[in-house]
Amino acid sequence: MRMAVMGASGRMGQMLVRLIDESDQATLSAVVERAGHDWIGCDLGQAMGAGPRGVVVTDDVAVALAASDVIIDFTSPAVTVALAQAAAAAGVAHVIGTTGFSEEDLAAIARAGQTGRIVRAGNMSLGVNLLVTLTRQVAAALGADYDIEIIEAHHRHKVDAPSGTALMLGDAAAAGRGVALADVADRGRDGITGARKPGAIGFHAIRGGDFIGEHDVIFAGEGERITLRHVASDRALFARGALKAALWLKGQGPGEYSMLDVLGL
Ligand code: NAD
């Protein structure tokens, strides 16, 4: 399968290039960076600090789409929304790992998914997607007298909060309780907040150092607490999930899918 990597110089982009190189089911068809980036026009191998490999980094999305069956995209929300429209129009599948979308962004991606083939997941790992299903089950089993708090930790460069994964977990907890997350989310308390609102789902974000991604879902009741925890210790985890999603999309019709679909959860 011919795969293009968007944001090729990024933390996830470089990881994806390495994994595609190792795969016997995928070939690297194009690598894209933003216009004006130092790597544009350079050989990818040399830009990554190795020998030349004959793939030139481009800022031309149309060229990348024409050469590819799927694009894998860990960039930023505005870039991803535009790519979703372009990929759907070109009949190229789109794996979206980007996080930090607004409601309008999500609606635009859903529109692209009416004709295009998309997998979008705030977290591509098997463990986190299992945690999503467990969170939903535990929230449904425990009822609203257990307070739900979601704590996440990421590296100092992360630009959005709460993380896409924390929001996935919050959605799952809200679904387990039969409510909409938007109605109960309580993000980053500060100051004289008053007592905790019954049924709220709280979010807290730690940023620092080189945390790859850690998530705790706490169910706090009277006399006991349950914590569901996931710790990512290698970024390759997310890239492997993205590659799996890209290969899975080959056999699918139009739609916006999640990693739960890809993993059969
Ligand atoms: P990063 O900043 O290291 O990489 C982003 C790259 O995108 C940069 O190289 C940037 O130059 C490039 N870019 C910007 N505009 C572009 C454009 N118009 N065309 C092509 N490339 C462009 O960030 P990162 O740590 O790799 O994370 C990227 C995104 O992926 C973030 O939203 C992050 O939260 C998300 N992420 C998701 C998962 C997951 O499992 N879903 C895992 C890790 C990170």
143: confidence class by pLDDT, cuts 50, 70, 90? confident
CATH architecture group of domain 126-232:
2-Layer Sandwich (3.30)
Atom of ligand 1 nearest to the CA of 75: 7
CA distances from 145 to 129, 219, 260 (A): 25, 9, 28
User: Is domain 2-120+235-263 in CATH 3.40.50.720, yes or no?
Assistant: yes
**Per-residue pLDDT, 19:** 96
Identify whether 37 is a catalytic site residue: no
Which residue of the set 154, 204, 215, 244 is catalytic? 154
Distances, alpha carbon 121 to alpha carbons 96, 200, 217, in Å = 7, 24, 18
Positive or negative CA dihedral for 123, 124, 129, 131? negative
> Looking at ligand 1, which atom is closest to the CA of residue 163?
34
Residues with C-beta less than 6 Å from any ligand 1 atom: 6-7, 9-13, 32-34, 37, 74-76, 79, 97-100, 121-124, 164, 238
The tokens for 164 are: 């896409």
Region 202-220: what's the mean pLDDT? Answer: 98
Q: How many CB atoms lie under 10 A from the CB of residue 193? A: 9
Per-residue confidence (pLDDT) for residue 245, from 0 to 100? 97
Examine the residue annotation and report whether 158 is marked as an active-site residue of this protein: yes
Query: Mean pLDDT across the stretch 187-216?
Result: 97
State pTM to two decimals. 0.91
List pLDDT tens digits, range 26-36.
999 999 999 99
pLDDT score recorded for residue 49: 93
Give pLDDT tens digits for 37-70: 999 999 999 999 999 988 999 999 999 999 999 9
Q: Is 72 helix (H, G, I), strand (E, B) or coil?
A: strand
User: What are the DSSP calls for 180-208, one per residue?
Assistant: -HHHHEEES--SS--SPPTT-EEEEEEE-
* Bridge partner residues of 56 (DSSP): 43
Strand (E) or helix (H) holding 215: strand 213-220
pLDDT in tens, 92-131: 999 999 999 999 999 999 999 999 999 999 999 999 999 9
The predicted structure's pLDDT at residue 53: 86
pLDDT value, residue 251: 86
Which amino acid residue places its CA nearest to atom 13 of ligand 1? Answer: 7
Whole-Å CA distances, 43 to 48, 171, 221 = 9, 42, 57
List the domain boundaries for the chain.
Answer: 2-120+235-263, 126-232
Atom of ligand 1 at shortest distance to CA of 82?
Answer: 18
Q: CA angle 205-244-163, nearest 5°?
A: 10
With contact defined as beta carbons under 8 Å apart, do 70 and 95 qualify?
yes
Check for a shared fold between 2-120+235-263 and 126-232. no
